Structure 1
Amino acid sequence: MTFDTLGTIGSYGLPGAAPVSIGPLGAPEWGSLLRAAVDQRAVPLVAHAAAGGCLETSSAQWDELTSMNEQSMHACVRLERAALEVVWVLRGAGIPHRLLKGAAVAHLDYPDASWRAFGDVDVLVRADRYDDAIHVLERLGGRRRYSEVRPGFDSRWGKGACVVLDRGVQVDVHRSFVAGPFGLTIDLNDLFAVSEAVLLGGVEVDVLSREHRLLHACYHALLGDAPARLVPLRDVAQMALSGTRDWEELWGCASRWHSRAVVARAMHASATAMNVILPEPARSWTVDYVADRFEARSLDAYLGPGRSYARQMAAGVHAVRGLGAKLAYVRSMLAVDADYARRHDGGYRRRVQRAWRAQRSAGAAR
C-alpha cells in the first residue's frame, strides 16, 4: 500500500476534499495498509474513512480495524493522563508552559479527538525556565533520553529534550519548535503572549493560539521527518481548511520569524498530499513566495542531501545576531562537556566540523 493511497484515505473528512472510494482489498493489500497506518499513526483516520464508506472492508477487516483503533485511542487517553501530570508539576513549580501537538490539536482542530492519534507528550516551556522544567520532571522520576552537549546549551540554543517518565511515557520538553536556524529565529515571547485552552479531564490546559498552532504544524510537517509523515501533513490542511484564522497575523509572524518559506512549502506539501485547494491567501503563498537567501541556505540544512542534526546546528550560526553571540554559539557547539565527548568517542566534534564545512560550501555555492 503506497503512501499516496494512505494519503488519499488520510484526506477523508477534510473540507473540500474530493470524495473517494477504495476497496475491497485483498489480504496482502489490507495487511500493507494496516502496517502503513500503524507506522504513520494514522489508524484513526483509516477507521473514520471506513466508517464513512470511503474504504470498503469485509466484516473481518472491520473488526480488526476497530480493535486496532480502540487500542490507539486507549493509548491516547493514557497519554492525556500523563500530560495532565506534567501540567500539574509545571504549574506547581510556577513554570509557564503550553501543551503542543497531540491532545491539543486533536481536541481543538479536528471534528473530534478520535480522529487524531499521538505517541508522546509535547510541552513548550519558557526558555528562562527550561532547566527548571527538566529538573522538575527528573524529580518526578523522569530521565533524559539523551544528555546535553554541555550545561546550558539547550536552554539557550537548543530545541529541547526528551524525558522518559515511568511506564515509558516520553515527554518532549521544547524550548523552541525545531533545532537549528529556524528554531533560533522564532521570537519565543510571541508564543507566550497569547494562548488558548483545551479541556483535558475537566482541567483547562494552556495551548498555543490558533495561528501559532498552524505555524508549528508547518514547522513539524516540513522540517521534521523526511519524507514528511502523513499526520503532520493532515494537521496543516486540517487547520488551514477548518475554522477561522487571522491569516495576516500568521504571515506577519512568519515574516518576523524569517520562516515564510517554511510556511509556504509546508502548505504546498500538505495541499499536494491531501489533494485539496487551500483558501486564500494561503494558496497564493504556496505559488508565489520565493525563499530569500537566509531561508534557502537554512532549508538546505533541513532538506538537502546532507541533512543532519549537526548540519542544522552549524547552519544556526547565521540566525544568531551579534558577533559576541555568534562566537558563544560556536564555542558551545565545539567545546562540549567532557563526559558527553567521552561517551560519544569524539564523534560529535567530527560531525559538527564536517557539517560546518558542508554549510560553508553550500553558502558559497549560492
Structure 2
Amino acid sequence: MRPNAQKSFNLDNNISKTGYRALYILMKLLESPKTRAELIDCAANDPVINKDFSKDTITNTINLLKKAGCIISRPTKKTNNKYVIKSHPFVVNFSKQEVESLQTFRKSMLTMCDWQLLLRLNNLYSKAAKFAPNDELADLLKFGHPFNRISGKILRDMIFSRQKLISIKYNSPKYGIEDFDIIPHFINFENEKLYIWCYNCKYNETSFLRIDRILNINYYTFDYDIAQKQDKFEEQQFKAIYELKGSAAMMYIPGTGEKIIEENKNAEFPLKIEILVKNKFNFIQKLLSYGTECRIISPRPFIKEFLETLERIKGDYIK
C-alpha cells in the first residue's frame, strides 16, 4: 500500500478561518471603531481571509464575538455606522499580591544600577497599570519608583553625559538656585533618592547631587579629555583608617578597597581597617551605620569634616 502523501503546510490546511476572522476583527476593533467597509478594506491584504471576507461573514463573526462575551454596539448614525467594542473578557487582571510582587521586583532592580533598563521597565509598568485592581495600585505601578520627580530628559542626559563637562541649574538646599559646571561620574541610589557623583568645578570638590534637584542641563561646546577627568577624580580619592568594636567588628566583612591592617582581640577596638575612599558620601553613610562601635583614625581633614557633619545632623534633629 502506498503511504499517503503528507500535506504541505499552507494557510488553508492549518488555520481555522472562523477563529482567525474572530481574532482579526477583535484586534481591529480594539484599535478603533470601524464600519463593515473599513473592515473589508483592512482584510484586503490579509493572506488568510482576503478572499472570503464579506458583509455576511463580518455579521456572523461579530455575533460569534458577542457569544464569547464581547459587548459590541450595532452600527448606527450616532457611531457613524461603525462597530464599537465596549468591553471584552480577554484582559489581564492583576491581584493586589501580583502588583506588590511587581513592585518588589522593580525595587530589586535598583541594585543593578542599570538606569536605562529601569526607565524601560517604568514605561512597561505604566502600560500595565490599567490591569491593576484599583486606582491606588495603578498609581503604585505608574509612580512608585525613584524617578517619579525627575525629568525624564534630565535623567537620560545624566546617564549619557559621563564624557562631557556640563553646566547645570541646581536647587541647592543650602544656597538656593545656582548655576555651576560638573563632570558626572556615576549615578547612585541612596536613601530612596537618585544621586549623581560628580566633580564640582565651582567648589573644586567631589559632589553628590540629588538628581531631582537638577532643574536644567546645558551642554558646553567643549569637553575635557578622559585623562583630565580621571585626574580630577583621583585627586578626590583618599585613604582612611578606622577601627571597629562590638558586633560591628564581629560581623565585619571587607568591602571593595578595604583590608584589615591590624587585629587585636584584647584591644578596645579589635579591628583596624584601611580603605581607599572613592565615594565620600557612601563612606560617611557607612561610618554612621556603625554608630558608637566605630572610631576614625585618619586622615585628620576628613575627621574634622565628619565631626562637622555630625554637628549639622544634631542641629537639624534639635530643630
Give the structure with the higher percent helix. 1
Which of the two has higher C-alpha Rg? Answer: 2
TM-score, normalising length from structure 1? 0.20
* Larger RCO of the pair (alpha carbons < 8 Å, separation 6+): 1
Give the structure with the higher percent strand. 2
